[in-house]
Structure 1
Amino acid sequence: MVEVVTAGHVNWDVTLHVDALPKPDGEARIDSQCRSGGGSAANVAVALAGMEFDAGLVGSVGTDDTGEFVRRELRAAGVDCSHLLEVEDHETTTKYLVVDEEGEVMVLGNDGANEEVTPADVDPEFVASADHLHLTSQRPDTAAALARTATDAGVSVSFDPGRRLAERDFGEALAYSDVVFLNDREARALLDSDLEHPSSELHGRVVVVKRGEDGAQIDTPSGSFDHPGFDADAVDTTGAGDAFAAGLLAVLLRDGGVVDPSADYERALEFANACGALAAMDEGARTAPSFAEVEAFLDGQF
């Protein structure tokens, strides 16, 4: 049994820090590089495990050496990998992240084994035994099956659909979600008009709009809260949104659950922004801080 199940992409990241993002036919100098696990579902699972939650992961990797690197790193972080599917004759999805001196990111990647988890691969007992399910970008039919299984079992659901939202029909998964994470671009793609109060357009769901260095907004049926974010010397924004999501969920889950009507969303938003800022101040996608590190950061702000 785990407290939180995360589901979606599991990658191997190769991060190249360059002096500037290259233009067509141009060239950039590589200042440093690192290799580590990535993928939003895996990043959130690792972050929650680092905040002392029992986290489990639903995703897929290949049976290649890279897949073994991914599994080893996840297990070392304390993530339950019993439902991490190993796909024969597939490469583990690899992302090449090119990061400039301002922390801006350009991503290249192969399809690999990332979306080989089908609805038939979903283990209802594993999902139903958790307190919460967090979905990230993946096959829409699998996301829907996971969300439906969780809802039927009384498990709360959050969904961070990611940059491919406009290309994919996540309608069923969104219909089962209690909390939806979006950035400004994704919010414009999903919502018809009301960007100020997205909860009303998404039928009373809690909607979190991430605005990068400008902070974030959380909109609920009973109120809306904004936080301007924190000044941070961004080194690498890769994974900062995943750290943000993990931080917000961690506070809400510790305080009684993501759908608790008395939840302190304002505090959760501040904590999440601090997680995102700390993640952006370090290299790689697996830089989510511990509770103690976030609290120390917040103490230093006031």
Structure 2
Amino acid sequence: MVRVICAGHVNWDVTLAVDRLPGADGEATITDQSQSPGGSACNVATGLTALGSDAAILGSVGRDEHGHLAVRALDAAGVDCTPLVTADAETAVKYLVVDPDGEVAVLGNEGGNEAFDAEDLEAATLAAADHLHLTSQDPATAATLADRAHDHGLRVSFDPGRRIDARDFTVPLARADLVFVNEREAATAIEDHFGPADGLDKTVVLKHGAAGAEVLTPCGHYASHDGFPVAAVDTTGAGDAFAAGFLTVWFGDANPDYDRCLAVANACGALAAGERGPAAPLSWDRIDALLDG
């Protein structure tokens, strides 16, 4: 079984389904609401565990009720919370406002979800792992974690997320072996961080949402998949579910079948988009049913 450490934010998410996303000075009606742990590191860890990997999480929560609830839910999902830091700060809370088409607006406080640093990950825990997955977090922490992972022979993946425009992820992007970006993020990542003139020195997975995804490798291999039609209910966490699916297949081979990586990843993303909340109910039965359909 592959041992993966997911590093990044652990939040408490409050999902509010509304009849529409209101504009300035507007109002909307809440039609449903739910609460659960969230944050990219949390979502990917639970997805990997559901698909058969052994996942641990490095992040930070507060000593409050939201932190307690997040840890309890992660434990129940089978995620190893041993590396998780309990900080003297409030657990970050995000309010996810979702319209009938599944589009999301996010409101939140930072809380203590960046109260951890690279040295909080014990050397023995890192040495026992096979892979490190980085998500949006302090760039210096991400860079140091990538260096430490490589020192222990781990491969590193990185999904910088929507903050790529606001934070300088140049170093962690350069040190990752595999990078996930959507179309908007790719413009920043490729032009500002990779440098197209230099050629790719890592595998890049470009996500197109409902339109599928592509993968490009340093040796020039290219694959694409058109995705699966789905009635989007909530796109929160769909990219994280995609990453969990892609990584699960990618782990298994030194020369991965990228067509299958993308097919499984797109199936996971579609399943996530078709459910309310950030934690997608992934299973191989549901994935195979979509692949076979």
Question: TM range, normalised to the smaller chain?
Answer: over 0.9
Counterpart of 1:97, as a letter, is L
**Is contact 2:18–2:31 with CA below 8 Å preserved after alignment?**
yes
Q: Which of residues 236, 240, 244 is equivalent to 1:246? A: 244
Instruction: Please give the alpha-carbon distance, in whole angstroms, between the structure 1 residues aligned to 2:258 and 2:124.
Output: 30
Structure 2 residue ranges without an equivalent (≥5)? none
Partner of 2:100: 101
Instruction: Please give the alpha-carbon distance, in whole angstroms, between the structure 1 residues aligned to 2:241 and 2:16.
Output: 20
Q: Mark the CA change 1:201 to 1:291 in structure 2 (over 3 Å): closer, same or farther.
A: farther
Partner of 2:230: 232
Shift of 1:199: 8.2
Instruction: Please give the alpha-carbon distance, in whole angstroms, between the structure 2 residues aligned to 1:134 and 1:124.
Output: 16
Deviations 1:124-174, CA, capped at 9 Å, x for gaps:
221221111100001111101110011111101000011111221222212
Instruction: Please give the alpha-carbon distance, in whole angstroms, between the structure 1 residues aligned to 2:234 and 2:199.
Output: 32
What does 1:211-290 align with in structure 2 at a 5 Å threshold? 211-220=208-217, 221-253=219-251, 255-256=252-253, 260=254, 262-290=255-283
**Is contact 1:127–1:146 with CA below 8 Å preserved after alignment?**
no
**Is contact 2:245–2:268 with CA below 8 Å preserved after alignment?**
yes
Deviations 1:261-291, CA, capped at 9 Å, x for gaps:
x210111001100100011001000014112
Partner of 1:210: 207
Partner of 2:171: 172
Equivalent residue of 1:164, what SS? helix
Partner of 2:292: 299
Instruction: Please give the alpha-carbon distance, in whole angstroms, between the structure 1 residues aligned to 2:198 and 2:41.
Output: 26
**Is contact 1:122–1:145 with CA below 8 Å preserved after alignment?**
no
What does 1:54-203 align with in structure 2 at a 5 Å threshold? 54-88=54-88, 90-192=89-191, 201=198, 203=200
Deviations 1:198-245, CA, capped at 9 Å, x for gaps:
887563210001111111111112311111111100000000000000
Q: Mark the CA change 1:189 to 1:251 in structure 2 (over 3 Å): closer, same or farther.
A: same
Which stretch of the first structure deviates more once superposed, 221-230 or 35-44? Answer: 221-230
Identity of aligned residues (%): 52
**Is contact 2:249–2:256 with CA below 8 Å preserved after alignment?**
no
Over the residues paired in the alignment, what is the CA RMSD in angstroms? Answer: 1.9
**Is contact 2:205–2:215 with CA below 8 Å preserved after alignment?**
yes
Equivalent residue of 1:42, what SS? helix
Counterpart of 2:263, as a letter, is E
Equivalent residue of 1:237, what SS? coil
Partner of 2:23: 23
Instruction: Please give the alpha-carbon distance, in whole angstroms, between the structure 2 residues aligned to 1:201 and 1:265.
Output: 23
TM-score normalised by length of structure 2: 0.95
**Is contact 2:190–2:196 with CA below 8 Å preserved after alignment?**
no
**Is contact 1:199–1:206 with CA below 8 Å preserved after alignment?**
no
Equivalent residue of 2:68, what SS? helix
Equivalent residue of 2:56, what SS? strand
Instruction: Please give the alpha-carbon distance, in whole angstroms, between the structure 2 residues aligned to 1:239 and 1:4.
Output: 19
Equivalent residue of 1:31, what SS? strand
Partner of 1:44: 44
Number of aligned positions between the proteins: 292
Deviations 1:68-103, CA, capped at 9 Å, x for gaps:
000000000000000110002x11000000000000
Deviations 1:25-51, CA, capped at 9 Å, x for gaps:
110011100001100001000011111
**Is contact 1:15–1:33 with CA below 8 Å preserved after alignment?**
yes
Instruction: Please give the alpha-carbon distance, in whole angstroms, between the structure 2 residues aligned to 1:192 and 1:119.
Output: 28
Equivalent residue of 1:295, what SS? helix
Kindly report structure 1 stretches of 4+ aligned residues shifted beyond 4 Å: 198-202
Instruction: Please give the alpha-carbon distance, in whole angstroms, between the structure 1 residues aligned to 2:118 and 2:216.
Output: 31
TM-score normalised by length of structure 1: 0.93
Q: Mark the CA change 1:219 to 1:99 in structure 2 (over 3 Å): closer, same or farther.
A: same
Counterpart of 2:105, as a letter, is M
